[in-house]
Structure 1
Amino acid sequence: MLRMLITSTRDAVARVLIPDAAAVYKKAWSLRLIELAAVADIILNVVPVIGDYLPWWLTLALLGGAYVARLLIQNKEPTNGDKA
C-alpha cells in the first residue's frame, strides 16, 4: 500500500514537473550515479565495518562517472525544446 502511494505521488508530481519523466529517468545516468555515490558515502560513514570492504575513493569515482555521463553521454541526445 505504501509503495503504491509513493509511486502514485511520484507519478503525479512528475507529470506536473516533467511531462515525460519516465523517459527522462531511463536516460538519466548521472542521477543514478549520484544516488549511488550518496548511498556509498552514507554506508561508509554510518557502518564503519563495511569501510574495510568498500574503498574510500568509491564515492569520488561514482561522482566522476556522473560528471562524465552528464557532459558526454546526455548531451548527445537530441533536445525537444520547450513545447509549452
Structure 2
Amino acid sequence: MRLHPDWRRVLARAWSLRFIELAALTDIILNVVPYVSDYLPWWLTLLLLGGAWMARLLWQPDKDLS
C-alpha cells in the first residue's frame, strides 16, 4: 500500500474527510461534555455526516487516483 503521489492536493480538497472529522468531534463533545449538549442540537452529527456524503458524491470530481 502506498500514498497517492499527490496526497497533499488530495488532502487539501477532501471535504468529505473534513465533514467526517467534524461529525466525530461533535459526537465526542456531545457524549463527553453533557453541559455542551444544551447548546448543540442532537442532529448536528447527522447533518455533518450527510454533508460528508454530499461532498463525496457531488462536489469532488470523479478522477482516477490510481
Give the TM-score normalised by structure 2.
0.89
Structure with bigger gyration radius: 1
2:45 to 59, 63, 73: 59
Query: How many residues of Structure 1 are paired with residues of Structure 2 in the alignment?
Result: 65
Where in structure 2 are the equivalents of 1:1-84 lying within 5 Å? 16-74=2-60, 77=61, 79-82=63-66
Superposition deviation, residue 33 in structure 1: 0.2
Superposition deviation, residue 79 in structure 1: 1.8
More helix as a share of residues = 1
Q: What letter is aligned with 2:18?
A: R
CA RMSD of aligned residues (A): 1.3
Superposition deviation, residue 80 in structure 1: 4.4
Unmatched runs of 5 consecutive residues or more in structure 1: 1-15
Unmatched runs of 5 consecutive residues or more in structure 2: none
Q: Which has the higher contact order (CA 8 A, sep 6+)?
A: 2
Structure 1 segments (4+ residues) deviating >6 Å: none
Q: Distance in 1 between matches of 2:65 and 2:55?
A: 21
Cα gap change, 1:45 to 1:30, in 2 (>3 Å): same
1:10 maps to: none
Superposition deviation, residue 78 in structure 1: 5.2
Q: What letter is aligned with 1:44?
A: L
Aligned sequence identity (%): 63
